Structure formats: structure tokens, C-alpha cells
A = this chain, B = another copy of it.
Amino acid sequence: MVFGREGAFLADLLQSISVRSRRLLGRAGAARRDEQLAIVELAARLISSRGEASGVALARRILGKWEALDRAERIGWFTTLAVDFGPDTRRLNTAVEAWLKSPSPAVATELHGAAEPFRQELFRRINLAPGGTAALVAMREALLVDLIAHPELTPVDADFVHLFSSWFNRGFLLLKRIDWSSPADVLEKIIRYEAVHEIVDWNELRLRLAPADRRCFAFFHPQMPDDPLIFVEVALTSGVPTAIDGLLSENRQPLNADEADTAVFYSISNTQVGLKGISLGNFLIKQVVEELAREAPNLRNFVTLSPLPGFADWLAEETNRPGSLIDAIDSDKRLAALDGDTWHIDKAVRATVEPLLVKAAAVYLVSAKSLDGRPLDPVARFHLRNGASLERINAFADLSPNGVHHAHGVMVNYRYDQFTIEENHEAYVNSGRIACSPAIRRLAGVDRRDRAVSSERQERPVP
């Protein structure tokens, strides 16, 4: 960073801040206003030359002040970042002119450099503070909240995304097994962030981790050793499970790893809101499949037991739509039985309803698409994009109030087959093709040539 330019930038910056601050901070008390000016000044100093020598100390002070900001001040801080810590516009304009006159790789590079906002360097230097990486992830978490009302802060978010994509590159992440000998400060985060099947306390956590037929894996970043970024919980079973109750039952007899033929990924959870959009998990499952295959060579099936969170809503709407996908399946409206509270206790009703329910779920998963042409169901989107295939639909698999309410008790197994993961992924991403078992294909009424592409709508490639 050349001093002259930087000096000018700094002078400009401090000038513009002092003007803006009067406006922005009009209603704050004088003391608070000074606080806000202070954090911006520290930031300006941090990206100046002095920052090089005293970076750690400055970065630590900035984070200390940041944590004390209230909501309004926080928005002030982000606004300053968006407006004042952008690129050097003089340099940028010069580069734009050069590009218009004679485009070349070298000029493109200068253009890229000139367009880089000072924010990025600022964030890189804040990262010098102990715990800086985690603090910046938390800062973005706050920004994501503020962004809803303040879309003008989007450029700040773009810089976080740019940096985090580099910093959390999968080449830097460590896959670690989590078990009952893991540190408590890591384990409490498993309790806190488990998003699929709640863990109520440490005793329940122990049941998820300690038995011989349970596994848990997480990605970690070297700079955040106490914070699992994403984790998956696995049950080793004999046979592919068809219901969640037995799977998590405390009273089951735990298997030894070499007695199991199936690994069930029954829960996968992100922990860091501040890393939204940074792809971490895509292939966590793929890597865990490799790890488990090495450890327990007897494993034959790698499957999930997954919810269908949007199924009940879709079914309700679809049933009432003239010419719906459901008409053919349920012309006599037997699925109306599902409206009652107790249908799943009544054996006769269950027998009547089961085949329809399974068929409807297959149609939902295979043919119900959102406007972008992707499956309507978010869990299906996640696993299909990861290269899994739809394996089996299980009625009466989750009869908890939640399970009945959202999916009439239905759950689905997705299969991760080491040999087709990449092909499935590519076919899905490039042409929207959904990989299915023959049984599902039959249920959904699509044939092989269709490749599970529904006939009504024209697919658009999936982003």
C-alpha cells in the first residue's frame, strides 16, 4: 500500500466520517457518539501503515468496541463500512478508462485490484486479533439480520462472502470425529446446534455419542478449534431403518461396528449462521462415507432417514387444485382421513391410507417443483444436489406431533452410493435429473427415460 494514496485516503476518510457522524449519530449522546467515532478511527488506523506494527492490539480493541455497540450503532458501523471503506475511486476510474481503451489480462487484473474495497483489507487485519476469525463470523451473523431492513449494506456482505470462501476453503477444514471423549466446550455446541432431532440434555447427548453403534463427524477450522462448523450424526444399524423411533431408542441393544451393515445419516446441522452461503457441507457426507467405509468394511448401505418438511402443506394445496397431480392417485378422496387427529392410531385407517400416502409422497418428491425447477422439498434439494438418490418412502415413520403435522408421519431414505454420487450430482446440477430407486420411480409414475423429470414443466438448469 503506497503511503501517498493511503494518506490521502485516510484524510478523506476521517473528514467524511466526521461529517457523516453528525448526521448519523444525531440523536445519540455525546459519549456514545465518541465511542462510534473511536471504532471507525481505530479501523482507519488499522488499515494505515501503523496497522502493520500494532495490528494485533488495534484489532483487539476494535473487536472490544464492536461487541459493546447497540443495534443502531451497529448499523452505523456497517454503513460506514459500506460507504467509506469501499474502493479507491480515483484508482478505479483510472483502471476503468484503461480497460475501455485497451482490455488485456494485465488491465483486468488492475481493474480487479482497484475495485477491491478497503473493507477486505480491514477484515483481514481484524483477523489478527485472538479469536478474530470467530468474531468476524459473528459480525456477519449480525449483518445478515440488519441486511433485511438495510439492503444497501449488501456490498459489505459480499466482502464477507469473498473472504470466508477463501478462508473456509475445504482444503483448510479438518474432519474430526466427535465422541464422548471430545471436549465439553465442543459438545455443548452439538447440543445447542442440533437442528433436526433436538438433544434436550447431556444424558441424551451421551446416548447419541457414546454407544458403540453411534458416530458423529464435524468439520472444523484450525482457527476455531472449539466450534464445529457443520456436523452429521450417524447410527450404525442392521438393515435400512424405516422409522425414527427405533433408531433413537434408548433401550435398543447397541451393535458393534462390525455387526452393522448400514450407516444412517439421521441428522445434519450447520452451526454458524455467519457462514451462510459458504459451501461447507456439500460433501461432508461424502467424506464421512469414505471414513466409515474404511473403519467398518462390512457396511453396505449409506442412507439417510430424512423428514419431508413441506409434504403436508403441499398435499393440502394440491388436493384442492383442479387437475392436480394427486387426482389420479386419490380420486376417491381417501386421503381426507388424514385431516383427523387420530387417524394414525386407527389400524383400519392406516391400512387404507398407507399406499396412497406413499404414492403421494413419491409424487411430491419427484414431481413437485418450485419456480426454479428444483424440487419443492428443501431436504430433497440438499441430498439430491449432494449426489444421493431417492431410495424408499416410509409411512408412519415419525409419529411425533411434529412429524404428523408437517409430513403425515412420512420419512424418506436417501441413499449415498459411493459409485454414483458424482454422476447423480452432475446430472442433477446440469439437467435437473433426480436419481431414484426403481420402486420410487414406479410409485411416482415416471419411467426410466423420463429420468424423473416431470412432464408438465420445462426444467431449467439448477444454479
Contact = CB atoms under 8 A, between A and B. Distances in A.
A53 B426 contact: yes
A176 to B, nearest CB: 13
Give the number of copies in the complex.
4
Contacts of A425: 49-50, 52-53
A169 interface: yes
A297 to B, nearest CB: 10
A231 to B, nearest CB: 15
Interface string A108-125: 110111011100000010
A202 B192 CA distance: 14
B124 A165 contact: yes
Interface residues on A, range: 35 or more
Given A111-B111, A112-B87, A172 B117 contact: no
A340 B162 CA distance: 61
A181 interface: yes
Interface string A427-438: 001100000000
Contact of A92 (B89, B108, B170, B209): B108
A183 B206 CA distance: 12
A155 B109 contact: yes
A3 interface: yes
A372 to B, nearest CB: 11
A201 to B, nearest CB: 7
A191 B429 CA distance: 50
B124 A166 contact: yes
A152 B112 contact: no
Contacts of A184: 180-184, 187, 202, 206, 209
A70 interface: no
A111 B100 CA distance: 14
A163 B116 CA distance: 13
Interface stretch (A127-135, A248-256, A397-405): A127-135
B133 A105 contact: no
A422 interface: yes
A329 B283 CA distance: 70
A228 interface: no
A382 interface: no
17 contacts: A4-B461, A49-B430, A52-B429, A86-B105, A89-B103, A108-B115, A108-B117, A112-B117, A115-B115, A124-B165, A127-B169, A127-B172, A128-B169, A129-B171, A167-B172, A184-B187, A184-B209
Question: Top 7 closest A-B pairs, CB basis?
Answer: A112-B115, A127-B171, A222-B222, A3-B461, A109-B155, A53-B425, A202-B202
Interface of A: 1-4, 7, 49-50, 52-55, 82-83, 86-87, 89, 92, 96, 99-100, 103, 105-106, 108-109, 111-113, 115-117, 124, 127-129, 132-133, 152, 154-155, 158-159, 162-163, 165-167, 169-172, 180-188, 201-202, 206, 209-210, 222-223, 226, 279, 282-283, 286, 387, 421-422, 425-426, 429-430, 461-463
Given A55-B170, A222-B223, 15 more contacts: A3-B462, A49-B425, A53-B387, A53-B421, A82-B105, A86-B105, A105-B152, A109-B117, A109-B154, A109-B158, A113-B158, A124-B165, A129-B171, A172-B223, A183-B184
